[in-house]
Amino acid sequence: MSLKQGDAVPANTIFKYVPVKLNDTDSLTCPAPVAYNLSKDAEQSKKVLIVSYPGAFTPTCSQTHVPEFLEDANIKTVLAKGYDKIVFLSANDPFVLQAFAKALGVDKDETKVKHVIFASDTYAEFSKKFGLELDLTKMGLGIRTGRYAMVINDGKVSYIGQELGGDVTVSGFKSVLQHL
């Protein structure tokens, strides 16, 4: 099954995440994960940008793909276009993702703390359901979320940019910006 432009956000699409608190730089702080209900936001016609990446603290994800979206000017651009949330999605567990968010400085910016979520696609279930996973088992890394971006407007998917190779092109900020 694939998810394509014009499709409604599937019911019961819920991800777990550990909220990042402003100025909480302690990477050992571990509150319990909470649910982020993408379906509910979609039903309320909220605009959501999903940026999926294979893994926290990996070279391309840490140095290029995710940081580009987190640049102050780029966050402001996305929010100015009416987006309520930017969800960074990975198959890593919620605790690792909170530490990754802190390492990228999300905890130092009130706007990012309010609008950015680093959520876990546990076992890459959501990504696998729609053919958006990345199989890295031969490298010892298992099944991961693929590298893709998804734009959600009025409860529907308005853009999916899935990377088929190792580069960041259709899921990068400049490409996604054209579809916001």
* Residue 149 to residue 146: CA distance in whole angstroms: 10
Q: Angle 15-7-73 (CA atoms, 0-180°, nearest 5)? A: 60
Residue 61 annotated among the catalytic residues of the structure? yes
Annotate 10-35 with DSSP letters as a single string.
PTT-EEEE----TT---TT--PPPEE
Q: What are phi and psi of 94, to 5 degrees?
A: -60, -30
* Residue 102 to residue 1: CA distance in whole angstroms: 35
* Residue 150 to residue 158: CA distance in whole angstroms: 8
Are 108 and 75 in contact by the 8 Å Cβ rule? The answer is no
- From the candidates 38, 51, 56, 61, give the one annotated as an active-site residue: 61
Residues with a known catalytic role: 61
